[in-house]
Amino acid sequence: MPVHRSGTTGRSRLATAAGTLLAVLTLLITLPGAAGATDTPPRGSAHLGTGVVAHDGQGGAPRDNRAAQTEGVDVSSHQGNVNWAALWNSGVKWAYVKATEGTYYKNPYFAQQYGGSYNIGMIRGAYHFATPDTATGTAQADYFVNNGGGWSRDGKTLPGALDIEWNPYGAACFGKTQSGMVTWIRDFLNRYRARTGRDAVIYTATSWWTQCTGNYSGFGATNPLWIARYNTTPGTLPAGWIYQTMWQYTSSGPIVGDHNRFNGAYDRVVALANG
């Protein structure tokens, strides 16, 4: 009957439409960059100060005491091929370059950035972005040293730096307890020293250090502090350090965004390189 045929056709079309909608929704969920997938950045994209603005905010410009300090920059794959000549001519005399992250990522621009800064005359070093939830501190120190994070007594190489801060891929403290985080950091530092003979620099922010290590004070006597704070002063330092060796004071500086000040004249930068 006509009515019967019409009802069957309507139900068939409804079922087809529902099936199409389900297929589209499934595709959207699984596509890279789909809703929800962009909430977490891709592994390897982290860099020094990756969480500073979001967690600590950004204040005014630092006080102009550059006569007693030495300007530096830090770079990662985000900067691509860096114009080192322009930075040098602007007064930048030292640099840190991201070498590795976890045990799964190597900066594809490392050679241009690390070699280029050296060739222009800068004192430079390498840094490692820590992911304590993916591998041990010992394993990550080995990966770092094996992929650009070593040290040589040439007067132009700074000791490697451990970037330990907010986790851009998940929980701020990487799922570690405060004591567990301290142990992980200690394992990394001990392995780095065993491999290179140098004590690594620790890059962090006071608020993260307080939250995730319980403001542990045990590294201040051995490891230089590189503090992150985008404000007029470095502010309160983590326990154990009475001064910072370096201060990352902005992520929006000239030529390259991340600018830093070494707490001393150029000869102090040379002294750190020489150990």
- Quick one: pLDDT at residue 40? 87
- Quick one: pLDDT at residue 2? 46
Return the number of other C-beta atoms located less than 10 Å from residue 250's C-beta. 20
Contact (CB, 8 A) for 165 and 191:
no
Six-digit token pair at 72?
């530096």
One-letter amino acid of 149: G
Alpha carbons 174 and 151: distance in angstroms, whole number: 28
- Quick one: pLDDT at residue 39? 80
Alpha carbons 167 and 51: distance in angstroms, whole number: 8
Q: What is the pLDDT along the chain (275 residues), one digit of tens a residue?
A: 444 444 444 444 544 444 554 444 444 333 333 333 458 888 876 677 676 656 655 556 665 555 579 999 999 999 999 999 999 999 999 999 999 999 999 999 999 999 999 999 999 999 999 999 999 999 999 999 999 999 999 999 999 999 999 999 999 999 999 999 999 999 999 999 999 999 999 999 999 999 999 999 999 999 999 999 999 999 999 999 999 999 999 998 899 989 999 999 999 999 999 98
- Name the pTM for this structure: 0.82
pLDDT tens digit string along 137-156? 999 999 999 999 999 999 99
Active site residue ranges:
74, 163, 165
Q: Go through 198-214 and write b for each residue having 16 or more CB atoms within 10 A of its CB, e for each that does not.
A: bbbbbbbbbbbbbbbbe
pLDDT tens digit string along 77-134? 999 999 999 999 999 999 999 999 999 999 999 999 999 999 999 999 999 999 999 9
Residue (of 132, 133, 269, 138) closest to 201 by Cα position: 269
According to DSSP, the β-strands at 161-163 and 123-129 are parallel
Alpha carbons 128 and 28: distance in angstroms, whole number: 35
Return the number of other C-beta atoms located less than 10 Å from residue 157's C-beta. 21
Q: How many angstroms from the chain centroid is the CA of residue 17?
A: 47
- Quick one: pLDDT at residue 6? 46
Cα angle: 21, vertex 41, 145; to 5 degrees: 145
- Quick one: pLDDT at residue 21? 47
**Greatest Cα pair distance in the chain:** 97
